[in-house]
């Protein structure tokens, strides 16, 4: 399960790197809005318009693993959020950012599973 979660983190990292970001200097970015919200400013109206960086910031793995069979688990990784789901599919078709993330996750799962196995496996008599 640790290896699956580690692969999910790799998918998130690569998908965020490849995700497109709206280029509009006249609109506050997701990071700027978060800073303003932490300072106590009301920023809910700003989310009524396109927000640069919102798609990239919303990509994350689910918190819980889903058991789909004996010894078989599933972890979903993707864009999350109320506004992002409206255009995430279109951006995936155009840029393929999640496909790149999944390819990185498939490569990482082998390394992570070997690391996890070596972490818990001990030879008899040691």
pTM: predicted TM-score of the whole model, two decimal places:
0.81
User: Both tokens of residue 14?
Assistant: 């690569």
Which pLDDT belongs to residue 123? Answer: 67
Q: Which residue has the tokens 């496996």?
A: 121
Q: What does the alpha-carbon distance between residue 45 and residue 33 come to, in Å, rounded to a whole number?
A: 11
pLDDT tens-place string over residues 61-119:
999 999 999 989 999 999 998 888 888 999 999 999 999 999 999 999 998 888 888 88
Largest CA distance in the chain: 67
Contact of 52 with 23, CB cutoff 8 Å? yes
The token duo for 33 is: 């809005």
Tell whether the model's pLDDT for residue 12 goes beyond 80. Answer: yes
The pLDDT value recorded for residue 37 is: 93
DSSP type of residue 44: G
What confidence tier does 25 reach under pLDDT thresholds 50, 70, 90?
Answer: confident
Chain segment 38-62, per-residue pLDDT in tens: 999 998 888 888 889 999 999 999 9
Contact (Cβ atoms closer than 8 angstroms) between residue 7 and residue 112: yes
Cα 111 to Cα 97: distance, rounded to the nearest angstrom? 22
């Amino acid at each position: 399960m640790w290896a699956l979660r580690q692969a999910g983190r790799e998918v998130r990292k690569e998908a965020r790197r490849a995700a497109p970001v709206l280029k509009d200097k006249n609109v506050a970015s997701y990071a700027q809005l978060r800073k303003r919200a932490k300072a106590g400013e009301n920023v809910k109206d700003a989310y009524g318009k396109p927000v640069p960086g919102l798609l990239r910031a919303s990509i994350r793995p689910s918190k819980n693993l889903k058991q789909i069979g004996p010894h078989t688990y599933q972890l979903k990784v993707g864009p999350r959020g109320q506004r992002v789901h409206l255009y995430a599919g279109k951006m995936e078709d155009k840029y393929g950012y999640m496909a790149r993330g999944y390819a990185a996750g498939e490569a990482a799962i082998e390394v992570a599973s070997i690391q996890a196995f070596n972490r818990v496996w001990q030879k008899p008599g040691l």
